[in-house]
Amino acid sequence: MKRLALTLAATALAAGLCCVLPAPNLADSPAPVVSAAPIVVHTKDFAYKPLELTIPVGTTVTFVNDDDTAHTVTAVAEGDKKPLFDSGNMDKGQKWTYTFKKPGTYQYLCTYHAFMKAKVVVTPAPAPTASAK
């Protein structure tokens, strides 16, 4: 009888402990990685669409030529002779990607059709926030 009482007490104690375990601290878990939707600029009807794009630093943009005519995506800083970036010739259906690694405003144009102009505004990365512990 004494043995049965000890066994029941041990079982009850074990059952009670499993329900009192502390919950995991989710603040210490790494934040989930969220993948952003692809950023695409289309060239159609002799225009870049959208004409202006604002993105955070580190974003990759894909440029797609949807026109029947060849175009370029070329950015040259004022006073520079070498382009900041240049897609080279893009025939109909061709794609070109560029990752914006520095904040700033990037004015670009088509070297074949200088009236085709657009810009990308690259914002700095947000400052890290201190986590509460």
The helix (run of H) or strand (run of E) holding residue 62 is: strand 60-65
pLDDT digits (tens, 9 = 90+) for 32-80: 334 467 899 999 999 999 999 999 999 999 999 999 999 999 998 777 7
The model carries a pTM of: 0.68
Domain boundaries, the chain: 39-123
Q: Residue 4's pLDDT band (boundaries 50, 70, 90)?
A: very low
Strand, helix or coil at 15? helix
Kindly state the DSSP code that residue 30 receives in the 8-state scheme: P
Do 57 and 124 touch, CB atoms closer than 8 A?
A: yes
pLDDT digits (tens, 9 = 90+) for 11-34: 443 444 343 444 444 444 343 334
Q: Residue 82's pLDDT band (boundaries 50, 70, 90)?
A: confident
Select the CATH number that applies to the domain covering 39-123 from these four: 3.90.950.20, 3.40.50.1000, 3.20.20.70, 2.60.40.420.
2.60.40.420
Do 49 and 71 touch, CB atoms closer than 8 A?
A: no
